[in-house]
Amino acid sequence: MEQKPISSAPMILGIIGGVIGLPSAVCSGACAAGISSMASNTTKEEAASTGNTFMWIGLIGAILGFIAAFLYKRKPGTWGLMMLIAGLLSLINLVSLNMMALIPGTLFIIGGAIALSQKNRVAV
């Protein structure tokens, strides 16, 4: 019985998610800093720290998803799981009211689910 080749859909979704995720991460940092600076008892340093935290979470998610997109054909299970983790990291940025984070998060989760659902396929 001939095995089907591994789908390229997770790779394409991961690349698009990574490209959109980079500006989304910067936007999340700015949104989080702006929202936290509007609170009555926060200092500028606390607001900047909050913005940096959300920006780094988004950057790690975008970079992890981008790398997973390129390496998933070697080990679809492992890198599909990494793509799911990248999707969750990207979706965490929705807390900062950055709706742009919904796009890479959704793309990474769909790509990771497709990569994990492929069984008995061979890399081409």
What are the residue ranges spanned by the domains of the chain?
A: 9-25+54-117
Closest listed residue to residue 103, CA positions, set 35, 9, 23, 29: 23
Looking at residue 121, its pLDDT comes to 62
Helices (H), the chain: 9-37, 44-71, 76-92, 102-117
pLDDT the model gives residue 110: 96
pLDDT surpassing 70 at residue 107: yes
CA 101 to CA 29: how far, in whole Å? 11
Where do we find the tokens 């492992």? Answer: 78
CB 122 within 8 A of CB 21: no
pTM above 0.85, yes or no: yes
Three-state DSSP at 52 gives helix
Average pLDDT over residues 91-114: 92
What share of the chain has pLDDT > 70, as a percent?
94
